[in-house]
Structures are given as C-alpha cells and as structure tokens.
Structure 1
C-alpha cells in the first residue's frame, strides 16, 4: 500500500497510518548505504563524516515583525537572541503537543532562516495573521561535517576551520570559490558544523570536502545508519519518536494548507509496534517529556503556552535511553533459524522504513512508557532505544520490559507468522554517548 492520508480515506488517522507502507525517498546524497554502515557509524567517533540534509525545507523570513511572529508560534525564548546565533526551534499546537522542530539562524536584525518543518508552521501563521513580514522558499544545500577530524578537513578545504565560532552560532568560510555559512551544530554529539549555501553550489562544495577529507578518513553518511546519530545523542526526531501533532480534527485547516505548500509528505507515515490505541494523539509528544521545555521563557505568550505550562507543572513522563538485554536480542535473531514461530525481525542497524515503531514499556505488569527509535550502535555493541517513561521509572539502572512485536490492531499475513517477545531493558544515561559538541575548538589540535 502507498502512503495513506487520513483525510482521504474512510478510516481513522490511526488505522490509515498503521496500514501504511512507505519508504520515503529523500533524493540527493542519501542512498541506502555508501561503504558499509559499520564503517559509517564509526566515522563520527574516530574520523569524520559528510552527510546531506538538503531535503529539509529552507525558508527565509524577513521584516519588522519577523521576530514577533517567531515568538508567537514557537516555545523558544528570544531574549538576547543575537545576530549570528542559532536555535533549536520547537513549535506546539494549542494543546502543547509538538508540531515541529528544526533549526533557526538569525542573519540580521530582521532576517532569519528556518530549516525543516517549522518553516511551514511559521509560514502558515504569517499568512493567517497580521504581521509585517515576508517569506522566501529557497533552494539551498545543507551538509553536515561531524567528528574529531572535521576541523582538519575544513582547514584543508577552506584554508582554516572557524574555530572562533561558539556552539549554536555561525560564521562564514569559502569552499570551492563559494561563500558557505558554517553553523556549529549537529546531531552526532561530536564537534562539527552544518554547512549551508545556494543549491547551485552544492555539488562543488560536496566534492571539494570529500576530496580534502580522504587523507583524514572521511566517510559519506547514508540514510541506513544516520539515525544512530540521534539515538546515541538522545535527540528525539519527528516520525521516529513522535507524530507531528496535526492529525486530529482541530488541525484540518492546517493539513489542507500543507498539501498546497509542502515540498514532501509531512502528514502521514507508518505506525508500527506493540503500542496500540484508537486515539492518534497518543502518538503525540510534548516538549516536557522530550526534554525541550527549558527553552521556554515563562513570560512568553505563544501558541500552546497555557497548555504547556500545565504540563510543566505536572510532568508525567520523561525521555530516557533504554539498553536492551543482549541475550533477548540474540534470541530474536535466533528465531529466524528455528522451525517454530519467529519474532519480529530487528532491521539493522535500525528500522529502514521511515516509520514510528512504538513499543510498550512495562514494569511489574503495568505499562509505564513507550519505546521508540530502536537501533544498534556498533561502537558500543548495544541495541538501544529512546523511550518516554513515567518519571518514577526514569532513574538510570531501572529495569523494565519492552514488548517487541506488533499490536493486535495491526495484523497481516506476515505479522501473523511471528509472536511478540519480551525484551528486558535497563534505563541508561541520556545521552548515551558523551556530548562533545561544546568543546573548545581552540584546544582541539593541542
């Protein structure tokens, strides 16, 4: 079955998404695999990688009311937001559930660039509201170079890496004759930059970096293993860890607007796993449980601010990393070679179909959370997942059980061939990998 749109089929959003079967093709430089996913995974710990996020929407927002608009539609505080700085931009609906998250940079007093899904929520409210601002959808490249050797590669290709740029700030360098904005940001938990510039320069810049990086062990990052970045770093992502909170009835107008303006499908994607519900909002997440509510200025009045304040006052769940028991994981693979029922296959290194695989997390027979984004990290030789769990079970070392396999509401001839498996898991530190993104770049070569 192709992609399912809950507004165009005679079934609920939950049913439409549970029966969807779509592998999203981002195009560009994001194939299934380049060299080997293990080699690619090790790159951001041992050498460096070059990855392509050009598929993200890019919106330039300008005008006297641009900052006011951003403040009205985002949870972030914009106090002391300086030109040359970036933000992880988070936006919620009136119920305080996450609609979108992405990256914002401030180019000038009245000039901003938004990367990712927040572009649409912002543009939608500009069109609906009374703001003195303008938008421009742009064709740009967006590459990441991450890992301990990333500075050496930039020294080689740009004359000198921008070592004076602080975390979540940006500077400018020249690569292959093109001006490139270097934003000190990334999802690998390592030092590195996002490199941004006009789309027509992308091929030149990509090739120049790749050539300069050969002697430093650079690897191209494929879609097959790129999500292990976020898993090791404890960074939840749309689709893999939460459903954009736009699928209930109150958001129908926004969905109609999206269909006219979106550059790729942002509405539906498959739902899988042992977690079941008839209510699509049970796959939504809020900034409190995802660990993003510290962005909020208590004095701000933004869309969803009242609902979010209530969630902050009474937090129920929090984001953790789960370390899955080796023996239980091995049993899942062993079952493929037995004559009895098999367990659901654990795709390596993570789910290759772009889907939200949500599995029940249980303690003493009671549901205490939902696990998402299961993946294997070769560096640590562990199967991990992110999860939101009841706050009382979030302490590292807490033992829980993940119910691996499909729920009763998602059955097919293939699914009927396997049975669910209880996998023991332990709450671990989050992020699982030490975060080095804020390291002093002036000392990196010492």
Structure 2
C-alpha cells in the first residue's frame, strides 16, 4: 500500500480534482453476499415485513476512551453533547474551519468515557489525527471494515432488523416485550443466552433496531433470529439491496470530504495517506475542488448544528446558517430518459451513455453529477439508484433553495466529459436525464413517522 501522503499526491497530480477524478479507488463495497433471494424482493421486505441486514463488515469502528474523549469529540463535532450519556447515540458531524463537511458517522456512547465512532473513514481519520496532534488524554482502537482489515474478523457483529414486523419478531426471539426505546437510544436484550445491545434506528427509514455484540456470539444471535423469522416473513438482505437503503431514508453516504484544499488543512493532508482519499466521479467538471464541497445545511444536517460549544468551523457555520445556499432533495429521474440511456448500449451506430448499474448506479466513491435548470448549474446529485418499492430511479441531491420546491423540473447530466481513467469508467458519452424535485426522504413514512416509532 502506498505511503504517499494526500498532500504529496495533490502536488504530483497538479490539482486535487485531477488526482481524485483519476483515482483507482473504487466505490465503497459491501463485503457480504450480494443477494440471498433477489435485490427487488429484499428491498420490499423492509417496507412490507421485516428485513435482516448484516452491517458487520462494511463500516469502520474507532473506539475512543479516556478522560478527554468527550472533549475531543465535542471540539470537532457540530453536535451538542449536553445530556449525551451512556446508552445513547447520535449522527456525529464534523466540518473544516470554513464550515464545509468533512463527514458524518454514528457515535455510540457505550460507557462512561468510552465511545465507538462507526462509519466511513473520513470523519474517523479526522478525529484520529486531532487526537494524535492535540493535547487530549485519550486512546483509540481502530477496527477497519472487512475490506480493509489486514486479518481476522471484526471486533463486533452488527445486524439490522427493520420493517413493520421487526418489533414483533424481536419480542418472539427474546421472549419479553421490547422496552419503549426512543430513536437513537439503546436497550439491552438477551438472545440465545447472550447480552445484545440494540440501537433504535432504521437505515431505510423503517422501524427497527441495530443489534450488536462480541463477534464470537454473532452466529448464535443470527441463527436465533432466523429460527423465528419465517412466521414474520423475515427476508435476509444482501449487499445489492443494502446499498440502496439510504435512498429511502435520504442519508447521503459519501459527500466529498472538504479536506483537499486550504492552508489550515495542510497538516492533515500531510498526515493522511492516499489509500484513504477516495475517488471522484460524475459530470461535475469544475477545476476548483471547493465547488464540490457541501455544508451540513446542504445535506440535511442543519438541525444537528448546535452553537452551545466551541468547535472547529463554528464561526463559519454561524454565518452560513443565516442564509444556507442549498437544501437536500430527492430527484426522481424520468423513466423514459433512463430507459433511453440504457437502450443506447444496444445501438451500434453511436457511443453509448455511461452504463447505469442496478440497483446502485455509482462508479466512484464520491459521486458528483451536475443538476441543471434551464442550462444553469443549480445543484449536485450525489447518490443514485433504483427503489423497487417505488419503481423509480432516484438520486439524493443538494440544490439551490430557489429550485428546491417539490415538482420543480431539472436535468441531471449523467456521465463524464472527458472520460476519466477510473477503472469503473468505460468509453461513453454524456446524456441529460430529466428529473423532478421531490422531498427527502422521498418515502412518506420515513419523512414523517419512523423516528417516533
């Protein structure tokens, strides 16, 4: 693995955009079985019955422990830490000094002064860097995802049970009523004789729990759930369907981290190694990497930002909050245009459009496609895929406030010009796909009800 720093790589490539656009790093993978039945039926399960998803392998855990663990996290996170005691979790969000998003992850407060930060690496790397270079009395233990882990199994298993039958199935498996548990609070269960911790959560915007415990107990817990699952129409969900769950709940999984520019971030870029930098794909073609950055307000995290503590980027966010430029929406792609793009693969008289993969159609870790209104750039489409439950191709995007009303007609530019050197990019031509602005989350239940269930 290369030991070149991100800063060195940018200098070698000339610009951050050139470096990332031609990076060989592929989109994030889910190293579990692709399908147990088929991804359409598996998507339907979390809407109609109950789905079992294996989260054990695709996220990285950063365990943080010590007297200054809370101070470290508070110094870097936009979140409030008031009343954040053990047994709770939150969507942890970090920004750079200019208020631009570095990343997000789920922060579990496990015990007094013991935390587990779970997610994609960008925000975990940022926390690790600041711990190593700052004055904090804390230690970390890192458990990389199963794609990057050098050897051995994960430290913990994580299973997601979600769907309208999730609570009833959990009560059958445990033999006791599920306690009233607020959204992003934890409860303890006993399954197959083992203590299981459960976070009230739902990746696809449906009711359910994320269950976790020591890895060596995971097989017994999973088999106990499967043994009772048939009566509740339990469906195991593979990697293909799981990769689309965020499209229903409107979580944007990988906005480009705002770390590739700025003198105040140079020390971090010199510390960060290139395998962690990701890749950039899509029709956005600005030479300025900062045009690809977003703020927490752009991707739906505005309600998380709390100015009750000092943190990196606070002053900038205090200005941005006065007039947030963009808002998160769902774009529903016009079926005829999607069909035409796919159909171009069968015409020999022209260069085809970029291949539209199903159910998730991203070909870089950080997808950035232009959203146009009357030919003018009004936003960025960042994650696209097919929702079988809605029979719709949709993308999660951030668009200018003036063009964010539901029903607004926009155009997504699909494909690259010129084609980059990424391994997932074949020779193709750009096409324009019409889309209709819709709320985020797109699914009404996820938008209005699931946090209270």
> Do both proteins adopt the same fold according to a TM-score greater than 0.5, normalized to the shorter chain?
yes
Task: Please point out which of 297, 322, 342 is paired with 1:333.
Answer: 342
1:221 pairs with 2:226: no
Deviations 1:279-301 (Å, cap 9, x if unpaired)? Answer: 22332221011121221222321
Deviation at 1:397, TM superposition (A): 0.9
TM-score normalised by length of structure 1? 0.88
Question: Where in structure 2 are there 5+ consecutive unaligned residues?
Answer: 144-154
- Residues 224 and 352, structure 1, Cα contact 8 Å, conserved in 2: no
Task: Please point out which of 278, 296, 312 is paired with 1:287.
Answer: 296
Deviation at 1:5, TM superposition (A): 7.5
Deviations 1:373-404 (Å, cap 9, x if unpaired)? Answer: 11111111111111111110001111111122
Question: Counterpart of 1:346 in 2: which secondary structure?
Answer: coil
Deviation at 1:73, TM superposition (A): 0.9
1:204 pairs with 2:207: no
Task: Please point out which of 124, 139, 143 is paired with 2:129.
Answer: 124
Question: Counterpart of 2:358 in 1: which secondary structure?
Answer: coil
User: Do the aligned partners of residues 355 and 61 (structure 1) sit closer, same or farther apart at CA in structure 2, a change above 3 Å counting?
Assistant: closer
User: Do the aligned partners of residues 134 and 274 (structure 1) sit closer, same or farther apart at CA in structure 2, a change above 3 Å counting?
Assistant: closer
Deviation at 1:320, TM superposition (A): 0.7
Deviation at 1:152, TM superposition (A): 2.4
- Residues 63 and 134, structure 1, Cα contact 8 Å, conserved in 2: yes
User: Do the aligned partners of residues 136 and 408 (structure 1) sit closer, same or farther apart at CA in structure 2, a change above 3 Å counting?
Assistant: closer
User: Do the aligned partners of residues 197 and 256 (structure 1) sit closer, same or farther apart at CA in structure 2, a change above 3 Å counting?
Assistant: farther
2:50 aligns to what? 48
User: Equivalents in 2 of 1:351, 1:281: separation in Å?
Assistant: 24
1:254 pairs with 2:268: yes
2:139 aligns to what? 134
Pick which of 271-280 and 59-68 moved more.
59-68
User: Equivalents in 2 of 1:365, 1:163: separation in Å?
Assistant: 53
Task: Please point out which of 76, 85, 110 is paired with 1:107.
Answer: 110
1:88 aligns to what? 91
- Residues 156 and 212, structure 1, Cα contact 8 Å, conserved in 2: yes
User: Do the aligned partners of residues 268 and 161 (structure 1) sit closer, same or farther apart at CA in structure 2, a change above 3 Å counting?
Assistant: farther
Deviation at 1:17, TM superposition (A): 2.4
User: Do the aligned partners of residues 22 and 398 (structure 1) sit closer, same or farther apart at CA in structure 2, a change above 3 Å counting?
Assistant: same
User: Equivalents in 2 of 1:310, 1:432: separation in Å?
Assistant: 29
Deviations 1:251-281 (Å, cap 9, x if unpaired)? Answer: 3533454449xxxx53223x22211122223
Deviation at 1:363, TM superposition (A): 0.9
Task: Please point out which of 77, 101, 110 is paired with 1:98.
Answer: 101
Task: Please point out which of 275, 298, 301 is paired with 2:307.
Answer: 298
User: Do the aligned partners of residues 255 and 156 (structure 1) sit closer, same or farther apart at CA in structure 2, a change above 3 Å counting?
Assistant: farther
User: Do the aligned partners of residues 107 and 416 (structure 1) sit closer, same or farther apart at CA in structure 2, a change above 3 Å counting?
Assistant: closer
- Residues 5 and 267, structure 1, Cα contact 8 Å, conserved in 2: no
TM-score normalised by length of structure 2? 0.87
User: Do the aligned partners of residues 173 and 415 (structure 1) sit closer, same or farther apart at CA in structure 2, a change above 3 Å counting?
Assistant: closer
User: Equivalents in 2 of 1:314, 1:3: separation in Å?
Assistant: 41
Pick which of 154-163 and 16-25 moved more.
16-25
User: Equivalents in 2 of 1:274, 1:26: separation in Å?
Assistant: 22
User: Do the aligned partners of residues 99 and 411 (structure 1) sit closer, same or farther apart at CA in structure 2, a change above 3 Å counting?
Assistant: closer
Question: Counterpart of 1:287 in 2: which secondary structure?
Answer: coil
Q: Which of structures 1 and 2 has the larger relative contact order (alpha carbons within 8 angstroms, sep 6+)? A: 2
Which segments of structure 1 move beyond 6 Å, counting only runs of 4 or more? 2-5, 411-416
Deviations 1:62-88 (Å, cap 9, x if unpaired)? Answer: 333322221111000112223322111
Task: Please point out which of 166, 172, 178 is paired with 2:182.
Answer: 166
User: Do the aligned partners of residues 339 and 439 (structure 1) sit closer, same or farther apart at CA in structure 2, a change above 3 Å counting?
Assistant: same
Deviations 1:309-336 (Å, cap 9, x if unpaired)? Answer: 2221231111111111111112112222
User: Equivalents in 1 of 2:396, 2:285: separation in Å?
Assistant: 18
1:363 pairs with 2:373: yes
Deviation at 1:4, TM superposition (A): 10
Question: Where in structure 1 are there 5+ consecutive unaligned residues?
Answer: 441-446
